[in-house]
Structure 1
Amino acid sequence: MQLVVTVVLARLLQPEDFGLMAMVMVFTSFSVLLIESGLGSALVQRQTTSPDEESSVFVVNLGLGCMLTVLLWLCAPAIAHFYRQPALLSLVQLMVWVLPLSALATVPAAVLTQRLDFRSRMLAELFASGCGAGLALLLAWHGQGVSSLAWQIIAAAGVRMLLLWYLSGWRPRGRFDAPALVQLLRFGGPLLLANLLNVASTRLQSLLIGRLFDARTLGFYAIAQDTQQAPAQFLGSLLNRVGLPMFSIVANQPEKLAGALRLSLRLSVFVFTPCMMGIAVIATPLIRLLYGDNWAPAGPLLSLLALSAVFWPLHVLNLAAVSAIGKADLVLRLEIVKTLVTIPLVMVAAFIGVTAVAGAVFISSLLCVVINTWHSQRLFGYGLRAQLRDALPTVVLALMSTGVAALGLRSSIAASASMPTAIFVAAFSAACTYVIGAASSRLQAWRDLLSFVRTLWSRSPAGQGELK
């Protein structure tokens, strides 16, 4: 939904508007992460928590949210001065209202995840995204510019918070319990710092581009990043929300945890890898088709960023497995090492150019695969070599399919086909090659996927009726 809305907004707004929002998100994303991560993840990892623990987390998050709201409001003039963009003053002071709304939603969201009630979370977030999108499109249509992007985020956060409270039925019925909070912080604290370091390495790209170049250049990079992150964040959010609680259930059974990690990795790599390789091949035509010709400079950036996300499932699942067994300190150590690798690469690349920044992200992503799988061999007996061995057949098949897509795209363009037709031919030919190759070679990931689909079907009302 976010990708569809961005496509429409990009035709109503200017690249400068998206650049200004990316500048603000450098600071608001840190603040939201401070509020939502750490203690919320600690509640999920504990599986069962008391009303006192939940109420203690709620009080701390709400207090932190209010404090950060005031702090960011006061820092708005300094942020505008740093970027040399006066328009950021009012934009930052508008965006701060997302912080208390996020604070109010943290515990109800954690409670639903703890219950594995993903249906309720889906309903809340889908409806909230729809409300935010509708408001943004209305404001953009009436010429409100970058403020339409800000109100989209605020409205979605407010509706999400209200629905999570309603659907979870959670209320702060306990009392503040400092010892219980300390126990949660022992897990949540290192995880929070790890997430902050991860966001720092990501948002540093926008910080440097916005400072060294201009809002328009940052707008191109932001669109490329948003397009790449649409599938990446979808998969990452799905694997985190399902992976952490499910891995936590078998956290005390290393063999079962390793098996769950292996199956999850095979399935996610099989679905995700060809998608990102395909986006890398058709990046420039895709950007032109979705956003218009004036966004064409984002195409080469999208190619590099899409390639950097090819092994994203390995990043997410290994960290989720380590978190599930309560080793948040190890997650923190991994993030520290990754930050020491990523930040210097991005900083050096920023002085070369925007394309160099995307290239630095690609290089750091490859290096971080090694880092994120470092502890998996010792903890689960399923390290980098074994994971690459499981992923290699899928990657080879995806490369072959991507080559077919490139040939199809080139042939269609040479035949003067329209842009939608060229993209369709490339995608269809690649998909057919991929599925036929997986089925004919009896790829293990393909068999896992069929088994997974059959299980879902047998548990559905339609499937049960057919069995009867």
Structure 2
Amino acid sequence: MTSKESIINSFIWVSVERISTIGLLFIGTIVLAHFLSPSAFGLVGILTIFTAISMMLIDSGMGGSLIKEKNVSESDYSTLFIYNVGISIIIYLILYFSSGYVAELYCLPELKDLLRILSLTIIFNAVSIVQRIKLTRSFDFKVMCIITVISMLFAILISILLAYKGFGVWALIMQQVLQSLFNSLFYFIYVRFIPSFVFDRKSFRKHFAFGANLMCATLINTVNTNISSSIIGKFFSLQQTGFFAQSNKLYTMPTNIVSSIVDKAVFPILSKKNDLNEIISTISMLSRNIYLITFPLFSIVIVLSSPIIVTFLGDEWQEAAWILSILCCGGIPLVVKLMLRNALKTLGETYCIFKCEFICFIIGLVILLVSASISFRAIIWGVVCNNIILMIAFMIAISNLSFASKY
């Protein structure tokens, strides 16, 4: 199979996976929104940042390094497995014993048990990272698609049943926990990976060195993306937090599809190429096609946010319409930033990514804190401003890189 054919085949299956999972998630959200109150979604929104940050700390960018590597030994896989599982257990214990302090911080006692159960997803996801890397290296995206879709379908159906039976916010928590559990089980069934429990320090240093900058950059980006819900949950009502969490989930769906397609389908292939012009040409072609789809989509949602929210979620969620409309204004620069970031990642410029993310995080944090002292609406516009700043930062980085390559 040629490189072009590999990209097209990978692109198709990853697209099917993401569109299917986003579609299932969207349908599940619609059904659950009719059984659960905005406050239930607000509780989960507050906790999202804790599990999101934890997941970023587990892989440390080493997975990307193994995907990029031409020859990977079993000791490399074993080293990554031991590191992932070990770190995930440590992080889970930290979250478990600090959950009481989190509940006290937000004056919401129920957060204690919710965080302890939700954090199990960290361990479940950690034990299957090696299997996902093996399938990615062999470009077996069809199997990954089937596993992901089936896992999400089972998890959503069970969560809807729990919501119908009156379990409230626990339906949302169990959806995430069960999805990660099913994923891990199916990956273990299909990929017969048995770790040798050999920890190769040389291998660890090599792959950790590659992923360190990328891990820090991704960690900062994760905090930057999820901190708004936690700040809103602290200074505003739980209902407003729920409105924001749902609107944020809806507007990031297109960007999540783009991110997964590029990371899973395109990066493994282009990262092994040495021709800079071919890499840039392929990324430019993909970017144009993605922009043609996402830009009109965001524009439509901006104009029709109110009927979309009322039609799919119900009258109770009417207030989320203006939030979704504003957030979608920041969706366009977010997609541009995402494509530029992946271009830098493919070119191996992980330190450049880290610098951009770090500078923008500081600026974004200032914007968030200032806007939080003004109003709830100001926070929403602050998210849009932050996305625009991120886009500009990555544009400058790409421009400087292009200029440097010429001279």
**TM above 0.5, one fold?**
yes
Deviations 1:115-137 (A, max 9, x none): 22211111111111111101100
1:317 aligned partner = 339
> C-alpha displacement at 1:382, in angstroms?
11
| Residue segments in structure 1 that go unaligned for 5+ positions in a row | 384-468
Q: Which amino acid aligns with 1:258?
A: I
Q: State the alpha-carbon separation in 1 of the partners of residues 313 and 154 from structure 2.
A: 22
1:144 alignment partner, SS class: coil
Give the Cα separation in 1 of the matches to 2:281 and 2:224: 31
Shift of 1:381: 6.2
Correspondence for 1:216 among 214, 239, 246: 239
**Paired residue for 1:99?**
122
Alignment-mate amino acid for residue 236 of structure 1? S
Task: Give distance in 2, aligned partners of 1:378 and 1:169.
Answer: 45
1:128 aligned onto 2:144: no
CA distance in 2, matches of 1:122, 1:41: 19
- 1:167 Cα offset (Å): 3.0
Among 267, 270, 274, the residue aligned to 2:296: 274
Paired residues, number = 382
TM-score by length of 2: 0.90
Matched, 1:150 2:212: no
Matches of 1:239 and 1:23, distance apart in 2:
28
Equivalent residue, structure 2, for 1:373: 395
1:339-358 matches, cutoff 5 A = 339-358=361-380
Offset of residue 8 of structure 1? 0.6
Give the TM-score normalised by the residue count of structure 1: 0.79
Q: Which amino acid aligns with 1:254?
A: L
SS at match of 2:316: helix
Matched, 1:87 2:107: no
2:323 maps to what in 1? 301
Determine which structure has greater relative contact order: mean sequence separation of CA pairs < 8 Å that are 6+ residues apart, divided by chain length: 2
Letter in 1 for 2:37: Q
Tell me how far 1:168 sits from its aligned partner: 3.3
Q: 2:80 aligns with which of 57, 61, 84?
A: 57
Give 1:66's aligned amino acid: I
Give the Cα–Cα distance (whole angstroms) in 2 for the partners of residues 314 and 382 of structure 1.
Answer: 22
Which structure would you say has the larger Rg?
1
CA drift at 1:105:
1.4
Contact kept, 8 Å, 2:60 with 2:208, in 1: the verdict is no
String of CA shifts for 1:168-200, please: whole Å, max 9, x gaps.
343324721001110101111111111110011
Unaligned runs of 5+ in 2: 1-23
CA contact (8 A) 2:357 2:390 kept: no
Q: Which amino acid aligns with 1:292?
A: G
Counterpart of 1:78?
Answer: 101
Taking the aligned partners of 2:94 and 2:116, their CA distance within structure 1 comes to: 10
1:117 alignment counterpart: 140
Once the two structures are superposed, the pairs formed by residues 18-57 of structure 1 within 5 Å of their partners are: 18-57=41-80
Separation in 1 of the partners of 2:89 and 2:197? 21
The whole-number CA distance in structure 2 between the counterparts of 1:11 and 1:371 is 41
Q: Tell me how far apart the structure 2 counterparts of residues 241 and 342 of structure 1 sit (CA, whole Å).
A: 28
Deviation at 1:113, TM superposition (A): 1.6
Could you tell me the percent identity over the aligned residues?
23
Shift in alpha-carbon separation, 1:179–1:115, aligned structure 2, 3 A:
same
Determine helix, strand or coil for the equivalent of 1:311.
Answer: helix
**Mapping for residues 407-426 of structure 1, pairs under 5 Å:** none
How many angstroms apart in 2 are the aligned matches of 1:173 and 1:260? 39
User: Does the C-alpha gap of structure 1 residues 215 and 54 become closer, same or farther in structure 2, counting only changes over 3 Å?
Assistant: same
State the AA in 2 paired with 1:27. F
Q: Which amino acid aligns with 1:331?
A: I
Matched, 1:171 2:171: no
Do the aligned residues in 2 keep the contact of 1:53 with 1:177 (CA within 8 Å)?
yes
The structural deviation recorded for 1:223 is: 1.0
Counterparts of 1:48 and 1:135 in 2: how far apart (Å)? 41
Q: Which runs of 4+ in 1 moved over 6 A?
A: none
Quote how far apart the aligned CAs of 1:35 are.
1.6
> What is the SS of the residue equivalent to 2:271?
helix
AA aligned opposite 2:314: G
* 8 Å CA contact 1:319, 1:372 repeated in 2: yes
Distance (whole Å) between structure 1 residues aligned to residue 188 and residue 225 of structure 2? 31
Aligned ranges 1:170-189 → 2 under 5 Å: 170-173=193-196, 175-189=198-212
